[in-house]
Amino acid sequence: MSRPLTIACLQTRPMPDFSTALDEAVLRAEVAVSVGAEILLLPEYCGGLKTEGRSFVPPAANETDHPVLQGLREFAQSKQVWMVVGSVAIAAPCGKAFNRGFVLDSSGEIRARYDKLHLFDIDVGSQQYRESESVVAGKDAVVCDTPYGRLGFSICYDLRFPHLYRFLAQAGAELLLIPAAFTQKTGEAHWHVLNRARAIETGSFVIAPCAVGAVVGGGESYGHSLVVNPWGEVVVDAGAFPGVVHTTIDLDEVAAARQQIPSWNVNKPLKFSAKQSRLVS
């Protein structure tokens, strides 16, 4: 017995405004539908992204009338396909924005929304980013039931916090979503190994669509959108150019992997022994 699911990662470019961002997304989405994908996944900030110095300044709008979100809802409805909108910037009352992702069903209805928990505030060599200067962090982890299985949502920098994925897996998520706009520098060093680790640790499929190319104002996204199976093997890698990759996975592999190595569901409390300066169980 198997549970096949055809998925497509849409490797879009980070665009500076609503109009070009929607055009870019729909262009790739049309290709994904033509190859029979049942769920289409877009990267982080697929609704538009710019930078000013160390700050992120994506174009933002209210959820109810966000041009890119509404355009993608209409696309999902017209093609009768599920979509994961990696994230768009949703205006927040404080003058900042939420970095918010959405799961859309085949009627274009919003089935789940997730605000990025961990904001990208880093210093790597000469590169400095402060997402928190313009974005409000989320507060809740999110899982979403679909006809294909339960999804666990995360966004980009969340990838570096393994406890989140353990929690999502323990909440029943079989597919871990990691839409991203990972930087070129950190992507080259860590993108593949971190995605593989999250799959191995939880016995889950990892689906990680990542934007690719230069960002207006400075910076560059790494690309290499990935599908990783529960054994940690890379099933597809989109490489370093815009486009679409698709594959058919078998969700029954999740149960098989978790049965073989059930560490994802073991919670062993630890305490610190100051006398011995080590952790003991």
- Are the beta carbons of 5 and 249 closer than 8 angstroms? yes
- CA 270 – CA 281 distance, rounded (Å): 5
Q: By the 8 A CB rule, do 17 and 66 touch?
A: no
- Let me know if 44 is a catalytic residue: yes
Answer yes or no: is pLDDT of 278 > 80: no
CATH of the domain at 246: 3.60.110.10
Q: How many domains does the chain have?
A: 1
For the whole model, what pTM was predicted?
A: 0.94
Say which of 156, 174, 210, 253 is annotated catalytic: 156
Name the catalytic one among 9, 24, 38, 44. Answer: 44
> How much is the pLDDT for 126?
79
- Percent pLDDT > 70 in the chain is 96
The confidence score (pLDDT) of residue 105 equals: 98
Rounded to whole angstroms, how far apart are CA atoms 213 and 208? 16
Q: What is the mean pLDDT of residues 18-27?
A: 98
Cβ–Cβ under 8 Å, residues 22 and 71: yes
Residue with tokens 């989320």: 138
pLDDT, tens digit, 9 for 90 and up, residues 168-186: 999 999 999 999 999 999 9
Q: How many helices (H) and strands (E) does the chain have?
A: 6, 22
Q: Which two tokens stand for residue 249?
A: 């996975």
Banded model confidence at residue 203, pLDDT cuts 50, 70, 90: very high
Residue 275 is among the residues annotated as catalytic for this protein: no
| Domain carrying residue 75 | 4-280
DSSP lists the bridge partners of residue 183 as 221
pLDDT, one tens digit per residue, over 83-92 is 999 999 999 9
3-state secondary structure 182-215: CEHHHHHHHHHHHHHHHHHHHCCEEEECECEEEC
Give Cβ neighbours of residue 73 (< 8 Å, ≥ 6 apart).
104, 108, 109, 110
Catalytic residue among 24, 50, 79, 116: 116
C-alpha–C-alpha distance, residues 17 and 23, integer Å:
10
Could you read off the pLDDT of 45-60 as tens digits, one per residue? 999 999 999 999 999 9
Confidence of residue 269 (pLDDT cuts 50, 70, 90): confident
Asked if 210 is an active-site residue, the reply is no
